[in-house]
Amino acid sequence: MTMTTEAPTGPTVLPVRRQYSIRLHLLGRSLTTTFTSVLGIGLFALWITAVALAPISLTAPLLVPITAIVRAYANAHRRGAGWLLGKPVRAAYRPTAGRGVFSRIATIVRDPASWRDAVWLLLRGIVGFVTSLLAVILFASSVFYLSYPFLYWVTPQSVFGTPFGDWHELHSVADATVMMPLGLITFGLWMTLQLPLTRLELALTRSLLGSR
């Protein structure tokens, strides 16, 4: 899978500033995804509950607006994935316009695309959360460790003076620079993994939400 933000021959042919710009954009997206993925799991639970209660409950008509919300959420992610991939991710729902409420409910439940949406909500909620949180944590860790001498300087000794527990205690700002290589390592991991982590999430969206 090739994202439009990458050159076909790989990221090494891009200017360094461009590589950083791409990854910072995707980092902002990852930060958003850590929250929206949880919303997706909530929508999954709501939709599955509505389907389960539809045959036996007077609230069956609620399945129609709930499905509309799920599809709007999925369509928003189709557009986002299509923009990053450079190729539209198209929906393929069975038409329900002009039908009665219960006929529309039957069409929704029998539509394989509805169930792919449901599976996507659950899997993307898990995969999207894990991959996005990992990217955010790696970047935040790099900032934290690279800033460690400054943090040590502006806080009491007890706050950042014992990063390794009782094994080693820091006594000066110079000592605190021992933490900075960890920042370089986590920054390198973020630079390396941000694109693959995003690609993994986008592959899931394209696989489940794309037309068959």
> Can you give the pLDDT of all 212 residues of the chain as single tens digits?
556 544 333 343 445 567 778 899 999 999 999 988 999 999 999 999 999 988 887 888 999 999 999 999 999 999 999 999 888 999 889 887 667 888 899 999 999 999 999 999 999 999 999 999 999 999 999 999 999 999 888 888 777 777 776 667 777 888 888 889 999 999 999 999 999 999 999 999 999 998 76
The Cβ of residue 168 has, within 10 Å, a number of other Cβ atoms equal to 10
Distance separating alpha carbons of residues 190 and 146, to the nearest angstrom: 14
Listed in sequence order, the residues at least 6 apart from 168 whose beta carbon sits closer than 8 Å to its beta carbon are 162
Structure tokens that stand for 99 in this block: 């039908």
Structure confidence at residue 17 (pLDDT): 64
Angle at 41 between CA 38 and CA 43, to 5 degrees: 115
Query: What is the gyration radius of the CA atoms in the chain, in angstroms?
Result: 23
Q: What letter does residue 178 receive in the DSSP assignment?
A: G
Tokens of 168: 């080693």
Tokens 């900075």 — which residue?
Answer: 180
From 131, 140, 134, 135, select the one nearest 202 (Cα to Cα). 131
Both structure tokens of 63? 């399945």
pTM above 0.85, yes or no: no
Question: Taking the CB of residue 144, how many other CB atoms lie within 10 A of it?
Answer: 15
Angstrom distance (rounded) from CA 210 to CA 103? 25
Q: Which of 63, 65, 111 lies closest to 91 in space, CA to CA?
A: 111
What is the separation of C-alpha 114 from the centre of its chain, rounded to a whole number of angstroms? Answer: 21
Beta carbons of 135 and 193 less than 8 angstroms apart: yes
Closest CA to 104 of 114, 117, 89: 114
